[in-house]
Amino acid sequence: MGDRIVKLEKNFEIANNEQDFIKDIIKSIAKKLLVKSIYPTHEELRETTREFMLSEHPDFLKKFKKNQWQIYYEKNIAQLSILGTLTARIKDAMFSVFSELPPINTSTKELEIKK
């Protein structure tokens, strides 16, 4: 019984670390995608993810065969809940870049804006 508990705790820790790893990947990808497109397509997301993994985590990517990587990508990175995180990361990245801009007032007259 004790061995089973230890094994479950170890599996939980591994899964937790993997989720943190995926979140870090998504944050980095979001920053790269923001430069390319504010509204990335599924293909842009997949290609940027692959490029990022090849440059930053080649050992992680090498452990997968092509089909395995696609399955892992679809299951862990491209799913809607993760894309929600991606959207949040893009918003955070945009705020960090554009936070110094003055707020936009839509009722301001054209002459005041030109100043």
pLDDT at residue 81 in the model: 47
**Residue 91 near residue 30 (C-beta atoms within 8 A):** no
pLDDT at residue 115 in the model: 58
* DSSP 8-class letter at 101: S
| CA-closest candidate to residue 18, choices 65, 84, 67, 63 | 63
pLDDT at residue 42 in the model: 78
pLDDT at residue 20 in the model: 81
Domain ranges in the chain? 2-98
- What span, in angstroms and rounded, lies between the C-alpha atoms of 98 and 61? 33
pLDDT at residue 66 in the model: 73
| CA-closest candidate to residue 21, choices 72, 92, 71 | 72
| CA-closest candidate to residue 35, choices 93, 101, 100, 104 | 93
| pTM exceeds 0.85 for this model | no
Mean pLDDT per 10-residue section of the chain, whose length is 115 residues: 62 64 80 76 82 87 82 76 64 70 70 65
